[in-house]
């Protein structure tokens, strides 16, 4: 069983035409898994709908509490990329669980998005990596303690 917690971020953004801007909508991952015929046992819980720049300490504590309370050994967290490593650090030290964070640089709702690739990659990572906390983005696995987002390059890099 993979417990999937969604927190928002660009991966879940949808275009609101009346406002001509993107807002965070319902979690993209349930449709994505169904459309891609993913049958691995999983459960999706939307914890919050926030751009990760708006997450505070209380939000991160709530994410940690949800992960700690999960009975699953494999936990996937979808999250905005700007502060993904910050939340990854807050999730350190939860014993016996493989915890993988992923997200997207472009909304899942747009055609040229990295969302499906990243979610597929993260699903593989969460089922195969040993216990610990990882960021799985754009085909690479990162240690949140030693990683930064390179905003200009739209990628993560190890420090």
Ligand X SMILES: NC(=O)C[C@H](N)C(=O)O
95-134: which residues touch ligand X (CB under 6 A)? 103, 105
| Pair 4, 78: CB distance under 8 Å | yes
| Residues in CB range of 9: below 8 A, 6 or more apart | 24, 50, 51, 52, 78, 79, 80, 81, 84, 103, 104
22 or 30: whose CB is closer to ligand X? 22
Cα separation, 12 vs 75, in Å, equals 18
Binding segment toward ligand X, per CB under 6 A, in 14-22, 33-41, 50-58, 109-117:
50-58
Q: Is 10 a catalytic residue?
A: yes
Q: Is residue 10 involved in binding ligand X (CB under 6 A)?
A: yes
Contact pick of 33, 42, 47, 52 for ligand X (by CB under 6 A): 52
Q: Residue 92: how many CA atoms within 13 Å on its side-chain side? A: 10
Candidate list 7, 10, 102, 147, residue with the active-site label: 10
Q: Tell me which H or E stretch contains 7.
A: strand 2-8
Q: Is residue 152 involved in binding ligand X (CB under 6 A)?
A: no
6 or 83: whose CB is closer to ligand X? 83
Could you give the 3-state DSSP secondary structure of residue 147? strand
Contact pick of 19, 53, 58, 112 for ligand X (by CB under 6 A): 53
Token couple for 135:
């960021």
Q: Minimal distance in Å, beta carbon 24 to ligand X?
A: 8
Q: Is residue 82 involved in binding ligand X (CB under 6 A)?
A: yes
Cα separation, 52 vs 21, in Å, equals 17
Catalytic residues: 10
Q: Which residues bind ligand X (CB under 6 A)?
A: 9-10, 51-53, 80-83, 103, 105
């Amino acid at each position: 069983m993979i417990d999937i917690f969604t927190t928002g971020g660009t991966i879940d953004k949808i275009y609101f035409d009346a406002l001509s801007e993107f807002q965070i909508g319902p979690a993209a991952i349930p449709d994505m898994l169904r459309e891609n015929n993913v049958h691995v046992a999983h459960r999706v819980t939307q914890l919050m709908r926030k751009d990760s720049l708006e997450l505070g300490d209380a939000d991160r504590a709530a994410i940690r509490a949800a992960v700690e309370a999960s009975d699953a050994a494999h936990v996937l967290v979808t999250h905005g990329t700007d502060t993904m490593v910050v939340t990854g650090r807050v999730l350190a030290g939860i014993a016996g669980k493989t915890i993988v964070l992923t997200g997207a640089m472009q909304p899942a709702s747009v055609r040229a998005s990295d969302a499906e690739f990243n979610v597929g990659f993260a699903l593989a990572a969460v089922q195969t990596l040993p216990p610990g906390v990882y960021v799985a983005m754009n085909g690479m696995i990162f240690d949140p303690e030693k990683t930064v987002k390179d905003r200009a390059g739209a990628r993560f890099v190890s420090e």
